[in-house]
Amino acid sequence: MLALLFQSPQEEVSHVILDDGSVEKTVRVRLLCKVEWFEGQLTASLPVRGLAVVVKPKSGDGKARVVRVMNVTVGGNMRGFTLTPGVSDQCRRITVSGQLIGDVPIQYTVIGLNAYEIPVIGESFQN
């Protein structure tokens, strides 16, 4: 998901001063985002709404960072997702076309491989 445009001004819902002096704010956001679903073959620009939790350090020079976005609605459907910044290297999704490897013409999707692992799909031969 990639944020393209804020659709309306952010509305602060609450704020808390943490023990270290930094400020945690909960903000209602409405964005237009480029969304890529599952296999990554289709992308669409969809409205996204939710509650963003951001933390600004005590020092005035530090920028606020997004911790998570909760109760996310994508498009017009209430989804209740929680989004966190970054890319997870623990949950990788790889799609292999069976037709390209001489197997049944179907797509296989393998989830959860580590970065150094590759999917192996096809017949197994035992001696």
The per-residue pLDDT for range 85-110, each reduced to its tens digit, is 876 656 666 677 777 767 777 776 66
Q: Regarding beta strands 65-74 and 23-36, do their DSSP bridges make them parallel or antiparallel, or are they unpaired? A: unpaired
More confident residue, 94 or 53: 53
CA distance readout (Å), 34 to 30, 46, 65, 114 = 13, 6, 21, 26
39 confidence band (pLDDT: 50, 70, 90): low
Q: Is the pLDDT of residue 36 over 80?
A: no
Q: What is the pTM of this model?
A: 0.63
Averaged pLDDT, 63-88: 82
Most confident of 44-53, 75-84, 98-107: 44-53
More confident residue, 16 or 115: 16
